Amino acid sequence: MIDVAVFPVGGMGTRFLPATKAVPKEMLPVVDRPLLQYAVDEALEAGIRQMVFVTARGKNSLEDYFDIAGELQAMLKERGKTKELEILAITQLPPGDIAYVRQQEPSGLGHAVWCARHIVGNRPFAIILPDDLVQGTPGCMKQMVDAYARVGGNLVAAERVAPERTGSYGIITPGSADGNLTEVQGLVEKPKPEDAPSNLAVIGRYILQPEVMEILSEGKRGAGNEIQLTDAMAQLIGRQPFHGVAFEGVRHDCGDKAGHVIANIAYALERDDVGPAVREWLSANLG
């Protein structure tokens, strides 16, 4: 059973300046809710109840977002805004279900995950990167939790990327395949296309065993002089079962400006309230 998820949300979001001067990138909206809300909803759908946010300086709005907005709620109740109160309810989890820890220095994804070690403890845990917004039903993490129930061990969400894009991802050395599962025989962080063992890329969803924290505790630095989660995971291969899960759904790279705009359009088109207007505009302006 996976009951805890780690959300590394300490990044500076420099690709979205100047907006991220004041707004954390995880709080940038897709239609009318922030990326982080989509990530939390995905975790809840998968049966995960404890959320651990690894934050950094200047990320206080993340905590405020999931807090109870007393004055706003009182105003909405006074004005009979029932629908708006229902919308607010999705941002409020039961007391104690969210924990926050600080990553004091930007030392890589592996370091961010390691910062959550005392809360994770000796439990298998999920990792969700809000930048990777996966559109589909059921959600990507629910698909992974279902796969974990079958094979256990360590799992990463896997997606085939264009060969020239391997330098932007952790790449899997694939073994045998069984349905949507591929045995992971190796992991290489951001290889050049000519050096990549495949074009099967790891995206921002993981289920890992707690032993990865022991490896991360060694503080070994890899690509970019950062503590790489991929390097730590690679040391678990052969010691524990390790699989890539080919998820059903569409991934939107919301760490990229174009990807974020596309995600807004894709999600808007699914909505009854805004979809018709967006579709009409696209038809009139794009043919």
Alpha helices (runs of H) in the chain, residue ranges in sequence order? 35-45, 60-65, 70-78, 82-89, 109-114, 117-120, 140-151, 211-216, 229-234, 257-269, 275-286
Q: What is the pLDDT of residue 79?
A: 86
> How many other CB atoms are found less than 10 A from the CB of residue 189?
19
Could you tell me which residues come within 8 angstroms of residue 202 by beta carbon, excluding any fewer than 6 positions away?
A: 156, 157, 158, 169, 170, 171, 172, 187, 230, 244
Task: Give the model confidence (pLDDT) of 36-87 as tens digits.
Answer: 999 999 999 999 999 999 998 888 888 888 888 888 888 888 888 888 888 8
pLDDT at 245: 96
Distance CA 233, CA 211 (A): 9
Helix (H, G, I), strand (E, B) or coil at 42: helix
Q: Which residues pair with 127 in a beta bridge?
A: 6, 206
pLDDT reported for residue 190: 86
In this structure, what token pair is assigned to residue 118? Answer: 């005392």
Residues of the chain with pLDDT under 50: none
At residue 17, φ and ψ (nearest 5 deg) are -65, 145
Q: Looking at residue 203, what is its pLDDT?
A: 94
283 Cα distance to chain centroid: 32
Q: What is the DSSP letter of 240?
A: B
259, 174, 144, 157 alpha-carbon torsion, rounded to 10°: -20
Question: How far apart, in Å, do the first and last CA atoms of the chain sit?
Answer: 49
**Non-local CB neighbours of 215 within 8 Å, separated by 6+ positions:** 232, 235, 236
Domains of the chain: which residue ranges? Answer: 4-255, 256-287
| Calculated CA dihedral for residues 49, 230, 24, 271, nearest 10 degrees | -60
In whole angstroms, what is the distance from residue 61 CA to residue 135 CA?
25
Angle at 266 between CA 262 and CA 269, to 5 degrees: 140
Specify the CATH superfamily of domain 4-255.
Spore Coat Polysaccharide Biosynthesis Protein SpsA; Chain A (3.90.550.10)
Both tokens assigned to 172: 């899997």
Return phi, psi of residue 251, to 5°. Answer: -90, 135
Q: How many alpha carbons fall within 13 Å on the CB side of residue 94?
A: 5
Q: Which residues contact 266 (CB under 8 A, 6 or more apart)?
A: 135, 250, 252
Q: Rounded CA gap, 54 and 114, in Å?
A: 9
Give pLDDT, residue 287: 67
284 C-beta neighbours (distance < 10 Å), count: 8
